[in-house]
Amino acid sequence: MIELDVLTAGEALVVLAAETPGALEHVERFRRFSAGAELNVAIGLARLGLRVGYLSRVGDDTFGRFLLAQMEREGLSRELVGVDPARSTGFMLKSLASDGSDPRIDYYRRGSAASAMDATVLAAAGAIGARHVHLTGILPALSAGCRELAFDLAETARMQGRRVSFDPNLRPGLWPSRDEMVATVNALAARSDVVLPGLSEGRLLTGRDSAQDIAAFYLDLGAGAVVVKLGAEGAFCADRDGLRALEPGVPVRDVVDTVGAGDGFAVGVISGLLEGLDLRAATRRANAIGARMLRFPGDSDGLPTRRELDDLAD
């Protein structure tokens, strides 16, 4: 039995991040980082001392070996990461946005090793016990098999009385249609205990405008708690016990890179709840980590260690 605090699953990617601003086709120098929303969350939680399992596959190639080394360095178990000799590891190119806006990202992930996963990887991984399972809307978008895996993870965890968190993390380009994306993501949210939409995501998924109404939609769907990310304004949190609260954001003067801030936010909520914080305190931690992420270039560079987290709270 592999005993964990948190289990997550997804596609690990290599990101080649531009070192200079401008169109990607004109950039000559890039820095290499690990990427992937679920991997970012796994790394962030491991840095805080939690036992984290990351279920994935990489190719038997240079990028795959780089990612495996990164996972090992961050303290993630290699037992749950398969190596597929017939498929490649996905990667992406990311521009440098010097004005604080979202960078352009070009993905090269079609037919990747991770996209070939399905529910059988759970059986292959053996018995796994985790107090918390974290999922995003990216995994079910990769393939029919990955969709099966995502729903199986959520349903199994709920049957076992484990907490499930879900970040929609919408990637419209990975879905055959908007309607299928909305239906699938909301069906997975309905099987989750804590839902973490961004405001624009929530509007698209629910047809509702305000953070309060988006939260109400997911509470009615069956979630126990909802935290709606509001960017610089902070986050609105709500639960089935009647909590409704806006937690203000943390000001950031010099934004280096917006990618990964939402994953840092998820690290704050998940770690806070696992450590016994109430939802408001967990949301405050999430705001602080999300803001910290904006000051670093890599997708996971800004994720704090325990000592750095304590400094944020001072």
Q: What is the mean pLDDT of residues 252-259?
A: 80
Q: What is the pLDDT of residue 191?
A: 97
Percentage of residues in the chain having pLDDT higher than 90: 83
Q: What is the mean pLDDT of residues 207-234?
A: 97
- Domain ranges, ordered by start, for the chain: 2-313
Q: 203 vs 150, 225, 301, CA distance in Å?
A: 23, 18, 30
Segment 47-84, tens digit of pLDDT: 999 999 999 999 999 999 999 999 999 999 778 999 99
Sign of CA dihedral 41, 47, 53, 55: positive
Q: What is the pLDDT of residue 100?
A: 66
Q: Of these residues, 5, 167, 239, 263, which one is catalytic?
A: 263
Kindly report the pTM of this predicted structure. Answer: 0.94
Give the bridge partners for 59, in sequence order: 84
Q: What is the pLDDT of residue 200?
A: 97
Dist CA 181 CA 169 (whole Å): 11
Q: State yes or no: pLDDT of 314 exceeds 80.
A: no
Contact call for residues 100 and 131 (beta carbons, < 8 A): no
Active site residue 301: no
Q: What is the pLDDT of residue 33?
A: 92
Residues 82/54/157/179 CA torsion (nearest 10 deg): -90
Sign of CA dihedral 58, 62, 65, 69: negative
Dist CA 165 CA 196 (whole Å): 8
Average pLDDT value over all residues in the chain: 93
Residue 296: band (very low, low, confident or very high) from pLDDT cuts 50, 70, 90: confident
CATH number, span 2-313: 3.40.1190.20
> Residue 86 class from Cβ within 10 Å (0-12 exposed, 13-18 middle, 19+ buried)?
exposed
